[in-house]
Structure 1
Amino acid sequence: MRHLLLLGGGHAHVEVLRQLGAAPLPGWQVTLLTREVMSPYSGMLPGVLAGLYRPEQALIDLPALAARCGVALLVDRATGVDPVARRVRRADGNDLPWDLLSIDTGATPDTSRVPGAAEHALPLKPIDALLPRMADIIAGARPGQPIAVVGAGAAGTEIALALALRLRAAVTLVAGRSGLLPGFPARMRRLVARALAQRGVALREGQDAVRISQGQVHFAEAGSLAADPVIWAAGAAAAPWLTETGLHRDARGFLRVDDCLRAAGHPDIFAAGDVASFGQGLPKAGVFAVRQGPVLAGNLRAVAEGRAPALFRPQGDYLRLLSLGDGKAIGTRNGFTVRGRWVWWLKDTIDRRFMARYQGAAA
């Protein structure tokens, strides 16, 4: 028996598991090595914090999924990869050999650039660690409590809207010099800015946070902002253990992959999702990991069977849906931006259908 090792339980790997369950690989043993028992779906996190979903609706039970798909499960953390010896180093000290390796371990919070962020801010990722902390914050929240969300990309903006609605808190969204929703169409930014104002969320643009201390966000020229908690949504960084892989990485430390999602120079190693650096660099958005899943599953099967892998072709533009936390959403694609309850219905339908594939039943 040869060994296919799936490292990480991210959005792409759950699709690989599903397809292996539907059509097993003859002659291959498959193992999922993951530090998470419950794999969170990032697209539903703001809905959980807004009270629109129960936490379990946004979580994939990896032991149950692996069992249904005939895949062995090991719950542990990887600390390195030896591509020459074909072994993954584990936190428990036991190396794990493989013949074909796929990596979908995601990214870590980018807290290194701002002193105090790692010690005093609550990062959005890993989500499985965030949810219990947020449950405690929600349970103990008081009206008017000052809360800061640092980072005004899609995730940070959705979180700010959700918390302002659910907690009646005094939420400040720290957008910094990048501004609100960088890279999004101007009409969408205007609609979201209007929604933030209607929700009472203060938008702070123009200056980046330069330091985080207990209960304070500090700026270079504008003093400090009192907030407790400070939620960190300011970008993603590569996990430090990737430096121990010996694999090619981009300037930010993410694994370089080719057009077939193979690690550069290593046809027996694949990577997908946030851990991978594809082409000129895709946004660290869950939609790309979801779309890479079927291609990754097909390519792992192809290589295992001695066939050539297929190309992954990312969309030039894609549907971006942002929840307002109140049963409405804003969406944009191909230059068009729309808002309303039906947009939330569309987002909710897409998210529930995605989760139903891996939870065994509709959520």
Structure 2
Amino acid sequence: MNTTDTHEIVVLGAGYTGMLATTYLARDTRKMNVRITLVNPSPRFTERLRMHQVAAGQELAHFDIPTLLEGSGVDFRQTAATAIDTDARTVTLADGAVLRYDRLIYALGSATDTGLVPGAADHAWTLNDPRLAHDFSRRLGEIAAHGGTVTVCGGGLTGIEAAAEIAEAHPGLTVTLISSTEPGSMMGDKARAYMNRVFDRLGVVRRIGAQVTKVLPDAVRLDTGELVTSDLTLWTTGVKVSPLAAQAGIATDAKGLIITDPTLRSVSHPEIHAIGDAALIRQAWGRVHGTCQTGVASAAHAAGVITRLLKGKQAKPFRIGYFHQPVSLGRKDAVIQFTKADDSPTRWYLKGRAAVAYKESVSSTPPLAYKMSKHVKLPVKLTNGGRATRTTA
């Protein structure tokens, strides 16, 4: 092998999207003169779909990234990227190393933004980091010993799952979910009604239509001026992304998401492929929002695009439509809302034990997929959206 001709591919981020793109690429370029380097600060794969379980005190299986990559030929670098030089096509790492790239996959994901409300960064917890989730669970155990109050801010899917998980695991606690809109507003009426019945059974208090204006050490203040007592506050609303792309001069939107073309390449730097929560992806039916469902599909597509380009073929446009909204409601209950391509609810939904099994199959699939995809091609796009994605946005 003539190493001077080696095509260098660098992947930033080893979450759901970065891992899948890496393993797919490693398999499909095995016979090519390609070197793939995966950069991530932690050697452990974080199951973000399960962080609410960690926060409630459950232990998850340990998935070691180097072990998942064994036999793939991928070079794993346990460090963080600190800068991208798009002219030189290099990435500077926190350990001082500099990586050259011919193609870069940007998969740095997103995190909960605690900078939107005063006090949230200082006094609220998030599910951004498994270490923080473990610390939260320990504090939860301490206040549960004498009965206490937990406030979950945000009525999206993360807030819903966290509130139910905590209430089920610690029935002696008073769990309050605060949301400016109806929790589960993205669901259909029947699925949302089922969710609310589970909340009633678990004793989750809902404060709907309220805005949190300040987080205090032992309370949250609402826009009405009311103080809601809170021994522990969990913040699940608002999203931010790494500033790395914007700092590098890559075209981004106001929030820092890389603006992509129909093939998921940067509109300003086509050698950069952006996937998952870090990418601004548009479809004919509208803008894709950050979910594991669309993230892994974008990762598989980006890997396929790079492979096609290396073979001298034309890149194909990305097409995806939503299929479902799987929501766990503790370990013993769940609800699955099936959707149209644009994520609007259909009349079909699943509940109870069948939904629990369905949700578990969704959550447990990624680590298995990383192992298996080194050898066989797995289907990850549940739907391409049908007619909804065949016209230009």
| TM-score of the pair, normalised by structure 2 | 0.84
| Counterpart position of 2:305 | 299
- Is 1:283–2:289 an aligned residue pair? yes
SS, match of residue 68 in structure 1: coil
Aligned-residue RMSD, C-alpha: 2.1
5 Å matches for 1:46-195? 46-49=52-55, 54-56=59-61, 60-126=63-129, 128-143=130-145, 144-168=147-171, 169-176=173-180, 178-195=181-198
5+ unaligned residues in a row in structure 2: which ranges? 1-5, 340-345, 374-393
* In structure 2, distance between residues paired with 1:352 and 1:92: 33
| Counterpart position of 1:35 | 41
| TM-score of the pair, normalised by structure 1 | 0.91
SS, match of residue 337 in structure 1: strand
Residue 10 of structure 2 aligns to which amino acid in structure 1? Answer: L
Q: Given that residues 10 and 273 in structure 1 are in contact (C-alpha distance below 8 angstroms), is that contact kept between their aligned partners in structure 2?
A: no
Residue 133 of structure 1 aligns to which amino acid in structure 2? Answer: D
Q: Given that residues 56 and 137 in structure 2 are in contact (C-alpha distance below 8 angstroms), is that contact kept between their aligned partners in structure 1?
A: no
Offset at residue 49 of structure 1 (A): 4.7
* Percent of aligned positions that are identical: 25
Offset at residue 32 of structure 1 (A): 0.4
Q: 1:179 to 1:79 in 2, by over 3 A?
A: farther
* In structure 2, distance between residues paired with 1:78 and 1:310: 29
Deviations for 1:45-66, whole angstroms, at most 9, x for unmatched residues?
A: 3344556x6312xx53212123
| Counterpart position of 2:353 | 341
SS, match of residue 314 in structure 2: coil
| Counterpart position of 1:217 | 220
* In structure 1, distance between residues paired with 2:309 and 2:215: 47
List structure 1 segments (4+ residues) > 4 angstroms apart after TM superposition.
47-51
Match of 1:355 among 337, 342, 367: 367
- Relative to structure 2, which stretch is displaced further, 145-154 or 234-243? 234-243
- Relative to structure 2, which stretch is displaced further, 89-98 or 163-172? 89-98
* In structure 1, distance between residues paired with 2:300 and 2:222: 44
Match of 1:320 among 319, 325, 331: 325
5 Å matches for 1:241-260? 241-260=244-263
* In structure 2, distance between residues paired with 1:17 and 1:253: 23
Q: Given that residues 60 and 359 in structure 1 are in contact (C-alpha distance below 8 angstroms), is that contact kept between their aligned partners in structure 2?
A: no
* In structure 1, distance between residues paired with 2:161 and 2:76: 33
Residue 174 of structure 1 aligns to which amino acid in structure 2? Answer: I
Q: How many residues align?
A: 355
Q: Given that residues 21 and 68 in structure 1 are in contact (C-alpha distance below 8 angstroms), is that contact kept between their aligned partners in structure 2?
A: no
| Counterpart position of 1:310 | 316
Match of 2:50 among 44, 51, 63: 44
Q: Given that residues 152 and 174 in structure 1 are in contact (C-alpha distance below 8 angstroms), is that contact kept between their aligned partners in structure 2?
A: yes
Residue 12 of structure 1 aligns to which amino acid in structure 2? Answer: T
* In structure 1, distance between residues paired with 2:246 and 2:362: 36
Residue 39 of structure 1 aligns to which amino acid in structure 2? Answer: F
Q: Given that residues 105 and 272 in structure 2 are in contact (C-alpha distance below 8 angstroms), is that contact kept between their aligned partners in structure 1?
A: yes
SS, match of residue 287 in structure 2: coil
Q: Given that residues 68 and 371 in structure 2 are in contact (C-alpha distance below 8 angstroms), is that contact kept between their aligned partners in structure 1?
A: yes
- Is 1:11–2:16 an aligned residue pair? yes
